[in-house]
């Protein structure tokens, strides 16, 4: 019984985003409906945090889904529908911002920060490598250590 309840909850949890688009909103033309779904999945719900309007059940998301479908029925292309919404709500409505002069920092910040982090880790690892001078070894012990390092480098 416990397994059945767990399975049922899992299926309902996975099906929740499907319930966001009501049958009344759907277009009768399957090709137009698919285009609407494609566009909606790339548009941010302005009420929810990082959720597409296709997945959101907020009233504003519903209004935006209907607006997308209306624009498609009027004959707009996918790009025209997106541009209409960007003109109306700003680029924040796009889940993936476009690469432009005012978003270039957004696109390069993550790789640059990753490289800085890797360089810092590499520098810290090199610095932590024990040297013979810091270990307080005698001259004989230092020469034995150097011989071992040379042999390790050859193999």
Domain boundary among 93, 120, 140: 93
Asked if the model's pLDDT at residue 47 lies above 90, the reply is: no
Percent of the chain with pLDDT over 90: 25
Number of domains in the chain: 2
Backbone angles phi, psi at 43, to 5 degrees: -105, 135
Question: What does DSSP assign to residue 18?
Answer: G
Whether residue 99 is contained in a domain is answered as no
**What's the CA gap between 53 and 111, in Å, rounded?**
29
CATH of the domain at 29: 1.10.8.640
94, 103 Cβ separation under 8 angstroms:
no
Residue 145 reports pLDDT greater than 80: yes
Report field, pTM of the whole predicted structure over 0.75 = no
pLDDT band at 23 (very low <50, low <70, confident <90, very high): low
End-to-end CA distance of the chain: 61
How many CA atoms within 13 Å lie on the side-chain side of 73? 12
* pLDDT tens track for 55-107: 888 889 889 999 999 999 999 999 999 999 999 988 888 888 777 777 778 77
């Amino acid at each position: 019984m416990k397994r059945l309840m767990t399975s049922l909850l899992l299926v309902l949890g996975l099906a929740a985003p499907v319930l966001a688009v009501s049958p009344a909103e759907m277009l009768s033309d399957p090709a137009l409906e698919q285009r609407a779904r494609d566009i909606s999945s790339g548009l941010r719900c302005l009420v929810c945090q990082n959720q597409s309007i296709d997945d959101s059940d907020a009233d504003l998301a519903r209004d935006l889904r209907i607006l997308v479908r209306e624009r498609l029925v009027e004959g707009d292309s996918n790009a025209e529908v997106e541009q209409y919404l960007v003109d109306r709500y700003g680029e924040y409505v796009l889940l993936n911002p476009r690469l432009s002069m005012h978003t270039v920092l957004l696109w390069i910040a993550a790789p640059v920060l990753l490289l800085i982090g890797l360089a810092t880790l590499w520098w810290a690892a090199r610095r932590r490598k024990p040297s013979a001078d810091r270990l307080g070894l005698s001259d004989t012990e230092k020469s034995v250590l150097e011989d071992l390092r040379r042999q390790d480098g050859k193999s």
